[in-house]
Amino acid sequence: MAFKEYEDPAVLRQVQLASTRILGELDRVCRLLDIPYAIYAGTAIGAVRHGGFIPWDDDVDVCLPRASYERFLTEAPAVLGEEFTIENSRTHADFPNMFTKLGLRGTLFIPEFIKDASYRMPLSIDLMPFDNVPDDPRAYQRQRLRTWVWGRLVYLRASGTPYLELAGWKRSVVLAASWTAHTVMRVLRISPRWLQRRWESAARQYEHATTHFMADYSDMNPMAWAVSYDELFPTVEVAFEGIAVRLPHAYDTILRRGYGEYMEIPPVDKRKNHQPYLIDFGPA
């Protein structure tokens, strides 16, 4: 994602507070059901460096090992507060991502890059399944290629205008190809759920193998965030916007591997957020 500053800082803060409310519910449910999770990526940096959100950030990232992720999807609906909703490709046929959104009912948060998609995303946090990474580098590269291809098709089935960090003729060529792929899949009535199942099959290929690392295969570069189970757990309790959440056990190792000197404030051109096209906070 690129960076676009919110015109009204109060709106950004309202997004952050709504996201904190959702994160608090996730933590409550996971503690109740004894499901291990950890905040990660920019959310982990925010917790360590700021005691909450990175000042310009507008989303929350949470990771769960695949078994924990599946338990949450199965068991959480029975104990989740009625104002919250679990959304993914299993609940919404036109869902454009490979992970799950835990959101607030009656709200909208539509990023610029999916404004034309039929799926209407609520204010939500991202729940990422971490899948096993094979120890054999060649096997990993094959798995990575499969998840990348199927993941891009999942997205392009939902939207023909992906977010691109390109300019000029390269951007035009990629956008034309993306729109063509989107149109062809819709004309041929290729099911989004069929594409999603192909991605998930690739991501879970080594689910029952003994491996050293697990990673987020919805990312273009899964190894950038590959972690061992012992690096994630047991988690460390940390304050985040006034609530207690779970931080990876070896958070410093993980964050330095992914970001380098993560305690330094990045320049504006290195910052990222979701560039909202439409926000609706729902009934007052």
| CA distance to 56, 57, 160, 229, per residue, from 10 (Å) | 12, 13, 32, 38
In tens, the pLDDT along 228-273 reads 999 999 999 999 999 999 999 999 999 998 888 888 887 776 667 7
In the CATH scheme, what is the code of domain 9-131+215-280?
3.30.460
pLDDT at residue 275 greater than cutoff 80: no
Name which of 9-18, 49-58, 180-189, 252-261 the model is least confident about. Answer: 180-189
Residue 173: Cβ-neighbour burial (10 angstroms; 0-12, 13-18, 19+): exposed
Average pLDDT, the chain: 90
Q: Residue 233: in which H helix or E strand, if any? A: none
Report the predicted TM-score, pTM, of the whole model to 2 decimal places: 0.90
> What is the Cα–Cα distance from 227 to 41, expressed in whole angstroms?
12
Strands 61-65 and 124-133: parallel
Read off the pLDDT of residues 120-148 as tens digits, 9 standing for 90 and up: 999 999 999 999 999 999 999 999 999 99
- What pLDDT shows up at residue 238? 96
| pLDDT interval class at 210 (50, 70, 90) | very high
Residue 115 has pLDDT above 60, yes or no: yes
Which is it for strands 276-280 and 108-111: parallel, antiparallel or unpaired?
A: antiparallel
pLDDT value at position 136?
Answer: 96
**pLDDT surpasses 80 at 164:** no
- 276 has a pLDDT exceeding 90: no
Burial of 142 (0-12, 13-18, 19+ CB in 10 A): middle
Structure tokens at 110: 């539509």
User: At residue 88, does pLDDT exceed 60?
Assistant: yes
The per-residue pLDDT for 269 is: 67
* pLDDT of the residue at 106: 95
pLDDT at 274 over 90: no
Rounded Cα distance, 182 and 157, in Å = 5
Give the per-residue pLDDT at 101. 97
For residue range 48-60, what is the model confidence (pLDDT) as tens digits? 999 999 998 889 9
Q: What is the pLDDT of residue 271?
A: 63
pLDDT value for 81: 96
- Res 165 pLDDT > 80: no
> What's residue 138's pLDDT?
97
When pLDDT is cut at 50, 70 and 90, the band that residue 284 belongs to is low
At residue 2, the pLDDT reads 53
**Beta bridge pairs of residue 85:** 103
